[in-house]
């Protein structure tokens, strides 16, 4: 039986899911095909919109000329970004002209965030204002973000509540003392101390953090003591660790932990700990595997179900069949070596960027492998980078370039296929990492691509019906 739908979305990350839901809500019959796990399991779970306008001039090199062994950057001279920005929308005009926010308009970001808010409900905070929140990161910094999981809400930095940051001796991701000192150096308005405690050391040294989360979920005994009790006992002696300038002590009123306070019963674990400690409890988002990212992924897949989107994972889109009019008829999906055509009236490419393998490269160049869309990039591989690791890296902006309807453009700036739309990290032009705009770009492009694809499909049907009627 032929596989056919109004809209076919390739890629099941944040962007693909957003596009699929947006298309479904326009009344389209949507199918989503995704290859592997999305980058959500690596992501922090925060939804950034726009936190900085990064400098585009290069950091001052220690030496002139091409890259050489002796050339480096002078750390005292690297230019500061514009930010952190309290208002993401007001800064959009200061981004480069080919940035997706500029191309699609600020309303795309608003619509994307609104759709996200609707999908996750009260699991996330931040929708009550246009303003960014500053959230502590496990690098000991604070970063501007637009939406944050409930688990992180008690940790917002714009608050003078005395804070304790907890680290575990057997966890090497951060040292809580350096973390607290770095927050202080950032000028946070609250007094903060850090402590490294002994917890769950009975687990094998190489146990994954998910192991700890499960132990807290089930409150399973560790060395005889139930996990939650053990954790609060380890932390309790440090609730008075903050010493002020006059030698007085402040009792902390909130405690930050690495983000593995439970998985399935996270809210319950937090509430239980807060109760035992007599202080609010918050999670600091961590690197991969990231529980907040995984929890978000679960929610979004549930939303796909609710919205009636059919989805399958495990099989990649490997190519397209085009019709005579230059539209895409179907995509080819590789199912265990068998190539199966999936037909649709419109398509959304949301296959991710360099990390998600939606954008690929070799020594000769950069390409989008599934639809063979145009990806502008310098011919010379040595122009893909600059000396400063955190500088204006051309590779960070690699991706397809859309028009205002999220249609990818070819090398001549023309729409490549009339019924193909692009969303998420496969879209270039943004340095989402330095801008702190990753999820925002996915949401904004996702909404536009989804809506446009659904409308294009509806138009195609009307045309088909008209043709049939006239015969």
Partner 1 sequence: MNEAADVIVVGGGSTGCGVVRDLARRGLDAVLVEKGNLTHGTTGRMHGLLHSGGRYAVSDRKSARECIEENRVLRDIASHCVEETGGMFVKRPEDDEEYFQEKLEGCRACDIPVEVIDGEEARRREPYLARDVEKAIVVPDAAVDPFRLCVANAADAHEHGARIETHAEVVDVLIEDGAVVGVAVEHRSGPGKRVHRKPGTREEIRADYVVNATGAWAGQLGDMAGVDVEVRPSKGVMTVMNTRQVDTAINRCRPKGDADIIVPHETACILGTTDEEVTDPEDYPEEEWEVDLMIETLSELVPVLKEARTLRSFWGVRPLYEPPGTGTDDPTDITRDYFLLDHDERDDLPGMTSIVGGKLTTYRMMAESITDHVCEKLDHEATCDTAEAPLPGSDDFSVLRDYMEEFGVRSPIGRRSVQRLGSRADDVLNGTDPNPVVCECEGVTRAEVQDGIDAAGSDLNAVRIRTRASMGNCQGGFCTHRIAAELAQQYPEPVVRDAEDELYQERWKGQRHALWGRQLSQTMLNHLLHATTMNRDGDPAGLDGDVAFDAFDAGPGTDAASGTGSPDGTAATDGGVDGDR
Does residue 100 bind ligand FAD (CB under 6 A)?
no
| Residues in 441-470 that interact with ligand FAD by CB under 6 A | 442
Asked if residue 62 lies in contact with residue 77, where contact means CB atoms within 8 angstroms, the answer is no
Hey, what are 168's tokens?
């575990």
Give the three-state DSSP class for 321.
Answer: strand
Q: Does 35 bind ligand FAD (CB under 6 A)?
A: yes
Comparing CB distances to partner 1, the nearer of 311 and 390 is 390
What's 82's DSSP letter? B
Q: Are strands 249-250 and 242-243 parallel, antiparallel or unpaired?
A: antiparallel
If the CB atoms of residues 40 and 166 are measured against ligand FAD, the closer one turns out to be 40
- Give me the phi and psi of 164, to 5 degrees please: -115, 130
Residue 358 interacts, among ligand FAD, partner 1, none and using kind-specific CB cut-offs from 5 to 8 Å, with: ligand FAD
Report the C-alpha gap between 282 and 24 in whole angstroms. Answer: 35
Query: Among residues 312 and 329, whose Cβ is nearest to ligand FAD?
Result: 312
Q: Residue from 7, 10, 30, 103 that binds ligand FAD (CB under 6 A)?
A: 10
Q: CA distances (Å), 355 to each of 40, 210, 271, 283, 369, in order?
A: 11, 23, 35, 25, 14
Nearer to ligand FAD (CB atom), residue 46 or residue 119: 46
Choose the contact partner of 14 out of ligand FAD, partner 1, none; CB within 5 to 8 A by kind. Answer: ligand FAD
Task: Sort residue 261 into left (φ over 0), alpha (ψ -120 to 50) or beta.
Answer: beta
Partners of 168 in the β-ladder: 197
Handedness of CA 77, 78, 82, 84 (dihedral sign): negative
8 Å CB contact between 375 and 428: yes
91 binds, among partner 1, ligand FAD, none (CB under 5 to 8 A by kind): partner 1
| Residue number with CB closer to ligand FAD (216 or 432) | 432
Q: Please report how close the Cβ of residue 431 comes to partner 1 at its closest, in angstroms.
A: 8
User: Which of partner 1, ligand FAD, none does 382 bind, CB closer than 5 to 8 A by kind?
Assistant: partner 1
Q: Which C-beta is closer to ligand FAD: that of 175 or that of 312?
A: 312
Closest to ligand FAD by CB, 11 or 262: 11
Distance CA 260, CA 375 (A): 38
CB nearer to ligand FAD: pick between 174 and 199:
174
Are 288 and 208 within 8 A, CB to CB?
Answer: no
- Contact 14/439 with Cβ under 8 angstroms? yes
- Decide which of partner 1, ligand FAD, none touches 399; Cβ closer than 5 to 8 Å per partner kind: none
Based on CB atoms, which residue is closest to partner 1, 80 or 468? 80
Number of residues that bind ligand FAD (CB under 6 A): 36
Which residues between 392 and 431 bind ligand FAD (CB under 6 A)?
424-425
Contacted by 12, from partner 1, ligand FAD, none: CB < 5 to 8 Å by type: ligand FAD
Shorter beta-carbon distance to ligand FAD: residue 38 or 212: 38
3-state secondary structure of 335: strand
Minimum distance, C-beta of residue 145 to ligand FAD, in the bound complex (Å): 6
Quick one: which of 3, 4, 25, 36 contacts ligand FAD (CB under 6 A)?
36
- How far is the C-alpha of 432 from the C-alpha of 388, rounded, in Å? 17
* Closest to 291 in 3D by CA, of 218, 220, 194, 212: 212
Q: Hey, how many other C-beta atoms are within 10 angstroms of the C-beta on 175?
A: 17
User: How many angstroms separate the CA atoms of 398 and 431, rounded?
Assistant: 9
**Which of 371, 420, 368, 377 minimizes the C-alpha distance to 398?**
377
Q: Which residues 335-354 are close enough to bind ligand FAD by CB under 6 A?
A: 350-352
Single out the residue of 7, 9, 14, 188 in contact with ligand FAD (rule: CB under 6 A): 14
Query: Which of ligand FAD, partner 1, none has residue 360 at its interface (CB below 5 to 8 Å by kind)?
Result: partner 1
Residue 47, binding choice from ligand FAD, partner 1, none, Cβ under 5 to 8 Å by partner class: ligand FAD
Binders of ligand FAD in range 355-374 (CB under 6 A): 355-358, 370
* Min CB(340)–partner 1 separation in Å: 27
Shortest separation between residue 24's beta carbon and ligand FAD, angstroms: 17
Q: What residues contact 138, with CB distance under 8 A and at least 6 apart? A: 173, 174, 179, 258, 284, 285, 286, 287
CB atoms within 10 A of CB 378: 12
Of the two residues 100 and 167, which places its CB atom closer to ligand FAD in the complex? 100
Q: By C-alpha distance, which of 13, 61, 16, 97 is closest to 447?
A: 16
Residue where the block lists tokens 């981004």: 95
Is residue 34 at the binding interface for ligand FAD, with CB under 6 A as the rule?
yes
Minimal distance, residue 104 CB to ligand FAD, in Å = 15
- Dihedral (Cα; 63, 66, 69, 74), 10-degree rounding: 40
| Binding region for ligand FAD (CB under 6 A) | 10-16, 33-40, 42-44, 46-48, 316-317, 350-352, 355-358, 370, 424-425, 438-439, 442
């Amino acid at each position: 039986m032929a596989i056919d739908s109004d809209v076919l979305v390739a890629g099941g990350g944040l962007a693909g899911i957003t596009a699929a839901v947006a298309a479904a809500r326009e009344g389209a019959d949507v199918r989503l095909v995704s290859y592997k796990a999305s980058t959500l399991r690596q992501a922090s779970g925060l939804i950034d919109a726009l936190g900085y306008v990064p400098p585009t001039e290069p950091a001052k090199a220690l030496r002139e000329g091409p890259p050489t062994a002796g050339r480096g950057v002078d750390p005292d001279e690297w230019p500061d970004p514009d930010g952190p920005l309290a208002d993401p929308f007001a800064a959009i005009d200061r981004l480069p002209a080919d940035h997706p926010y500029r191309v699609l308009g600020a309303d795309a970001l608003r619509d994307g965030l609104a759709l996200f808010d609707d999908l996750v409900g009260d699991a996330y905070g931040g929708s009550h204002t246009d303003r960014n929140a500053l959230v502590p990161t496990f690098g000991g910094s604070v970063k501007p973000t637009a939406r944050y999981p409930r688990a992180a809400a008690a940790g917002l930095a714009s608050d003078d509540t005395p804070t304790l940051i907890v680290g575990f001796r057997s966890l090497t991701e951060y040292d809580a003392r350096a973390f607290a000192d770095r927050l202080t150096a950032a000028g946070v308005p609250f007094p903060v101390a850090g402590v490294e405690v002994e917890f769950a050391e009975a687990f094998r040294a190489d146990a994954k953090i998910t192991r700890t989360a499960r132990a807290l979920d089930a409150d399973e005994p560790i060395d005889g003591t139930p996990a939650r009790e053990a954790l609060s006992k380890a932390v309790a002696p440090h609730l008075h660790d903050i010493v002020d300038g006059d030698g007085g002590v402040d009792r902390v009123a909130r405690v930050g932990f690495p983000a593995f306070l439970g998985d399935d019963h996270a809210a319950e674990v937090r509430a239980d700990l807060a109760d035992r400690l007599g202080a609010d409890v918050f999670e600091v988002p961590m690197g991969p595997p990231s529980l907040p990212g995984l929890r978000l992924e679960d929610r979004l897949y549930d939303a796909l179900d609710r919205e009636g989107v059919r989805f399958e994972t495990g099989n990649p889109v490997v190519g397209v069949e085009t019709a005579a009019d230059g539209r895409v008829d179907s995509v080819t999906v590789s199912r265990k070596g068998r190539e199966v055509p999936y037909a649709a009236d419109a398509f959304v490419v949301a296959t991710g960027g360099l990390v998600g393998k939606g954008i690929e490269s070799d020594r000769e160049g950069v390409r989008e492998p599934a639809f063979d869309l145009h990806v502008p990039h310098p011919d010379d591989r040595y122009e893909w980078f600059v000396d400063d690791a955190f500088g204006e890296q051309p590779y960070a902006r690699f991706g397809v370039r859309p028009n205002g309807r999220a249609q990818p453009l070819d090398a001549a700036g023309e729409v490549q296929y009339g019924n193909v739309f692009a969303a998420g990290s496969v879209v270039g032009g943004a340095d989402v990492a330095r801008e702190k705009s990753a999820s925002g770009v996915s949401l904004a492009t996702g909404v536009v691509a989804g809506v446009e694809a659904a409308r294009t499909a509806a138009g195609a049907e009307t045309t088909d019906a008209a043709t049939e009627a006239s015969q």
